[in-house]
């Protein structure tokens, strides 16, 4: 085995494979840092260039780019509170609060240290586990995959600020949203209300960018502030070194999360979706002092960043050994294997084992190179936190909208992003956690398929008790709920802070959302009763039956809290004024109106001109910028939209009324 590992290392270091690997690293750093792109988009762009290349250099380029997107995606997560990719969602919870504290450099130092550690250790664990891991993977069937998804949702729902029930309700809302469009089991459309855009379901990218990105931009606009609310006394170099020290101080947490990332990554279809959330949940539940999580705890950055980099190595196993891709990215890698004349299966672990190890070593080398380069660049990136918010908002808004456009090249993507941006803003102000909703959207389709297959193959409920791995996962779910409830009831738990995700307390903002959810779940229940096919109605029916009593209880509690707030304020009008002022509702609505005008202008003249006008108008009206600054900024935006999105990515822009 050692000889084969060294042979694989020699292949990875050979020329021109090493040169292509470094090219892939540079491309991956850029692609991961731009919200809406991610590793799958990068692989799709790079794949045609590998057709004429030899096998080892081709995979060096692809894996070099793919491996580092989960390292560079932390830039947007930490600096802007916007997930660069799906893998960096959990990093937002503490990474962005650290940037608000003026400690972005510290967050970067910890992130890139543990990213390199996670990527290297994940690859080494993969190499050591190859002889014994295959029987374990074969032991997982559809019941186990379904229960693992439930475990992931439970762990995220448990990190729900003041209310576990609100976290569960948000997760159930996400699951219900995944049932929009054609049911895979029957091909019958559900909940699309005659809108063709909804027939294929809602794309995940516009939802993620809207739910997390727009509320943070609205906050910058409304408060007219910097990302960093306070300035740290540390220099950038001191901050980076402090982050590196933090990584070493919490080395055992990082080690445990590397194990979690590697072995969860080996599970087809689930690893990428839940690994960072499970790692974050483990960090919270294993910590003695939980009070700072969600407010800028460095452990909340270390855990998910270690796990999501370690997972990339583990995800190779189902792809090369079984031909089962666990994500869009690994599906493209699987296609590359076939194009190169390689057959995924046992041959990749026997005859072509040296090639498999060369892929593993490519991931190791890419992670090390990316960590070193990003550590150097982050000395300058962290300065964004101290740039006036009105200079950040228009550029980020353009990247957010164009990242959203990548999903289906439809104006429906923009409307989806805007709708979920408003929902995300309302959830943030009302104390509703957003992570359970996102994870449910990622897992919903897999959960429904596995649930239906489980009932068809193993019966209605017998599988819950007669499969050992299912029972183990059930015990973990129960322990997660018990620990979450105990933490909320503990007198030591700090419920006074409103800084963490789902921790805000504003009953008059929360009550309308609770009422809307109750009405929506009731309507969904009535619609579900009209489905003729059992397989079509089964999964949404289970969701709404669980969601209705939970949302009704939340509505009752919020109603009582709202009545108390009205009574203490001396009337509804004054109470609503206080609540809306606290939430910066007026300024936020004005910004939404500004975005609506940009969308309306897009129908008329297309994205290229509409977004440029949006940037210029924002800088002049909201930012009070000089004409020279406005003209230069707008010209750069125009060039980026035309050059990067139009010429390089070959995106089709909206056919406008005036210009086609």
What would the pLDDT profile of 545-584 be if each residue is shown by its tens digit?
999 999 999 999 999 999 998 988 888 888 888 888 888 8
Reported as type and span, the H/E element at residue 540 is helix 534-569
Percent of the chain with pLDDT over 90: 17
- What distance in Å separates the CA atoms of residue 564 and residue 86, rounded to the nearest whole number? 39
Whole-number pLDDT of residue 194: 84
- 435 CA to centre of own chain: 8
Asked if 257 and 279 count as a contact pair (C-beta separation under 8 A), the reply is: yes
Higher pLDDT among residues 528 and 440, named by residue: 528
Residue 182 has pLDDT above 50, yes or no: yes
Comparing 108-117, 483-492, 499-508, the range with the smallest average pLDDT is: 483-492
Higher pLDDT among residues 566 and 33, named by residue: 566
Residue 617: pLDDT band (50, 70, 90) is very high
Comparing 49-53, 253-257, 431-435, the range with the smallest average pLDDT is: 49-53
Question: What mean pLDDT is predicted for residues 339-355?
Answer: 74
Cross-strand bridge partners of residue 388: 226
Phi/psi at 181 (5° precision): 100, -165
What would the pLDDT profile of 530-552 be if each residue is shown by its tens digit?
888 888 888 899 999 999 999 99
- What distance in Å separates the CA atoms of residue 67 and residue 531, rounded to the nearest whole number? 44
Question: What mean pLDDT is predicted for residues 36-58?
Answer: 76
Residue 247 has pLDDT above 50, yes or no: yes
Whole-number pLDDT of residue 490: 60
Residue 360 neighbours by CB under 8 Å, 6+ apart: 8, 123, 126, 127, 313, 316
- What distance in Å separates the CA atoms of residue 542 and residue 71, rounded to the nearest whole number? 38
Most trustworthy range by pLDDT among 158-172, 378-392, 586-600: 586-600
Which is nearest to 42 in space by CA: 33, 32, 53? 32
Higher pLDDT among residues 428 and 325, named by residue: 428
Residue 334 has pLDDT above 90, yes or no: no
Asked if 555 and 519 count as a contact pair (C-beta separation under 8 A), the reply is: no
What would the pLDDT profile of 419-461 be if each residue is shown by its tens digit?
999 999 999 888 888 888 887 887 788 788 888 888 888 877 7
Whole-number pLDDT of residue 136: 66
Give the CA angle between residues 317, 456, 446 to the nearest 5°. Answer: 40
Hey, what are 306's tokens?
């270690």
Whole-number pLDDT of residue 497: 47
What would the pLDDT profile of 124-181 be if each residue is shown by its tens digit?
777 777 666 666 666 777 888 788 778 777 777 666 556 778 888 998 999 999 999 8
Residue 79: pLDDT band (50, 70, 90) is confident
Question: How many other C-beta atoms can be found within 10 angstroms of the C-beta atom of residue 313?
Answer: 30
- What distance in Å separates the CA atoms of residue 526 and residue 532, rounded to the nearest whole number? 13
Residue 85 has pLDDT above 70, yes or no: no
Residue 615 has pLDDT above 90, yes or no: yes
What would the pLDDT profile of 649-658 be if each residue is shown by its tens digit?
778 888 888 8
What would the pLDDT profile of 292-302 be if each residue is shown by its tens digit?
888 888 998 89
Asked if 465 and 471 count as a contact pair (C-beta separation under 8 A), the reply is: yes
Residue 360: pLDDT band (50, 70, 90) is confident
- If phi over 0 gives left and psi between -120 and 50 gives alpha, with beta otherwise, what is residue 252? alpha
Question: What mean pLDDT is predicted for residues 379-390?
Answer: 75
Which is nearest to 158 in space by CA: 293, 3, 39? 293
What would the pLDDT profile of 198-229 be if each residue is shown by its tens digit?
988 888 888 888 888 888 888 888 877 777 66
Residue 67 has pLDDT above 70, yes or no: yes
Look over the chain and give the mean of its residue pLDDT values, rounded to a whole number: 82
Query: What single DSSP character describes residue 653?
Result: P
Question: What mean pLDDT is predicted for residues 105-117?
Answer: 87
Whole-number pLDDT of residue 613: 93
Whole-number pLDDT of residue 496: 43
Residue 493 has pLDDT above 60, yes or no: no
Question: How many other C-beta atoms can be found within 10 angstroms of the C-beta atom of residue 2?
Answer: 7
Residue 601: pLDDT band (50, 70, 90) is very high
Distances (CA, A) of 637 to 79, 101, 194, 249, 402: 20, 29, 37, 42, 11
Question: What mean pLDDT is predicted for residues 98-104?
Answer: 84
Whole-number pLDDT of residue 219: 84
Is cis: bond before 16, omega within 30 of 0?
Answer: yes
Residue 605 has pLDDT above 50, yes or no: yes
Which is nearest to 422 in space by CA: 647, 592, 571, 594? 592
């Amino acid at each position: 085995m050692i000889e084969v590992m060294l042979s694989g290392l020699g292949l990875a270091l050979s020329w021109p494979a090493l040169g292509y690997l470094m090219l892939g690293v540079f491309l991956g750093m850029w692609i991961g840092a731009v919200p809406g792109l991610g590793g799958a988009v990068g692989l799709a762009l790079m794949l045609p260039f590998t057709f004429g290349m030899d096998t080892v250099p081709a995979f060096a380029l692809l894996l070099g780019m793919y491996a580092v997107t989960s390292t560079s995606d932390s830039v947007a997560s930490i600096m802007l509170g916007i997930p660069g990719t799906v893998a960096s969602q959990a990093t937002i919870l503490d990474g962005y609060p650290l940037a608000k504290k003026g400690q972005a450099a510290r967050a970067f130092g910890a992130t890139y240290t543990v990213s390199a550690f996670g990527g290297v250790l994940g690859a080494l664990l993969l190499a050591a586990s190859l002889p014994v891991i295959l029987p374990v993977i074969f032991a997982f069937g559809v019941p186990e995959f379904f229960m693992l998804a439930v475990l992931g949702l439970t762990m995220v729902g448990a990190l729900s600020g003041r209310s576990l029930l609100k976290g569960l309700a948000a997760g159930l809302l996400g699951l219900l949203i995944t049932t929009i469009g054609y049911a895979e089991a029957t091909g019958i459309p559900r909940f699309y209300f005659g809108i063709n855009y909804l027939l294929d379901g809602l794309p995940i990218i516009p939802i993620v960018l809207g739910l997390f990105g727009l509320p943070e931009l609205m906050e910058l606009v409304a408060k007219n502030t910097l990302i960093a609310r306070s300035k740290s006394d540390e220099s950038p170099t001191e901050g980076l070194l402090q982050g590196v020290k933090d990584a070493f101080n919490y080395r055992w947490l990082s080690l445990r999360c590397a194990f979690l990332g590697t072995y969860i990554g080996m599970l087809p279809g689930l690893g990428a979706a839940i690994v960072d959330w499970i790692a974050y949940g483990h960090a919270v539940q294993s910590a003695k002092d939980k009070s700072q999580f969600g407010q800028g705890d460095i452990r909340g950055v270390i855990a998910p960043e270690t796990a999501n980099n370690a997972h990339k190595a583990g995800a190779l196993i189902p792809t090369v050994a079984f031909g089962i891709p666990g994500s869009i990215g690994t599906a493209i890698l699987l296609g590359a294997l076939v194009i190169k004349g390689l057959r995924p299966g046992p041959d990749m672990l026997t005859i072509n084992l040296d090639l498999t190890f060369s892929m593993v070593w490519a991931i190791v080398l890419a992670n090390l190179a990316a960590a070193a380069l990003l550590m150097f660049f982050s000395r300058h990136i962290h300065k964004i936190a101290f740039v006036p918010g009105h200079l950040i908002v228009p550029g980020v808004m353009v990247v957010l909208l164009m990242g959203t456009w990548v999903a289906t090249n439809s104006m429906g993507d923009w409307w989806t992003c805007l709708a979920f941006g408003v929902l995300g803003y309302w959830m943030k102000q009302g104390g509703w956690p957003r992570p359970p909703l996102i994870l449910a959207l990622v897992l919903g389709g897999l959960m429904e398929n596995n649930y239906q297959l489980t009932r068809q193959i193993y019966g209605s409920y017998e599988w819950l008790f007669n499969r050992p791995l299912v029972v183990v996962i059930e015990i973990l779910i129960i322990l997660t709920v018990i620990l979450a409830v105990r933490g909320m009831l503990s007198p030591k738990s700090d419920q006074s802070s409103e800084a963490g995700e789902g921790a805000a307390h504003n009953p008059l903002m929360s009550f309308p959302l609770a009422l809307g959810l109750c009405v929506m779940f009731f309507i969904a229940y009535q619609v579900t009763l009209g489905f003729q096919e059992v397989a079509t109605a089964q999964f949404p029916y289970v969701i709404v039956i669980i969601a209705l009593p939970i949302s009704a209880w939340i509505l009752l509690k919020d109603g009582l809290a709202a009545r108390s707030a009205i009574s203490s304020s001396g009337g509804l009008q004054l109470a609503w004024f206080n609540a809306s002022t606290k939430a910066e509702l007026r300024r936020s609505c004005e910004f939404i109106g500004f975005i609506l005008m940009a969308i309306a202008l897009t129908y008329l003249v297309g994205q290229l001109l509409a977004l440029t006008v949006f940037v210029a108008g924002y800088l002049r009206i909201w930012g009070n910028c000089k004409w020279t600054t406005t003209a230069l900024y707008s010209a750069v935006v125009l060039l980026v939209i035309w050059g990067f999105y139009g010429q390089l990515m070959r995106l089709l822009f909206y056919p406008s009324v005036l210009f086609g």
